[in-house]
Amino acid sequence: MTAVALSRVPVDLRPLVDSDVDAVLALDARVHPNTWSSKFLRSQLANPTTRTNLVAEVDGQLVGHAALLVVVDEGHVISVTVDPDRKRSGIGTVLMAALCRDALVRGLSALTLEVRVSNEPAIGLYQRFGFAPAGIRKGYYTDSAVGGREDALVMWAHDIADPAFSNRVDEAINRAGGGPTDG
CB atoms within 10 A of CB 178: 20
Backbone φ/ψ region at 135: left (φ over 0), alpha (ψ -120 to 50), beta = left
Residues designated catalytic = 114, 126
**Domain residue extents for the chain:** 2-176
**Using an 8 Å Cβ cutoff, are 80 and 27 in contact?**
no
**Coil, strand or helix at 153:** strand
The fold of the 2-176 domain, in CATH, is Aminopeptidase (3.40.630)
Give residue-wise pLDDT tens across range 68-106. Answer: 999 999 999 999 999 988 887 889 999 999 999 999 999
Least confident of 55-59, 81-85, 117-121, 145-149: 145-149
CA distance 129 to 176: 12
User: Phi first, then psi: what are they for 69, rounded to 5°?
Assistant: -110, 130
pTM of the shown model: 0.87
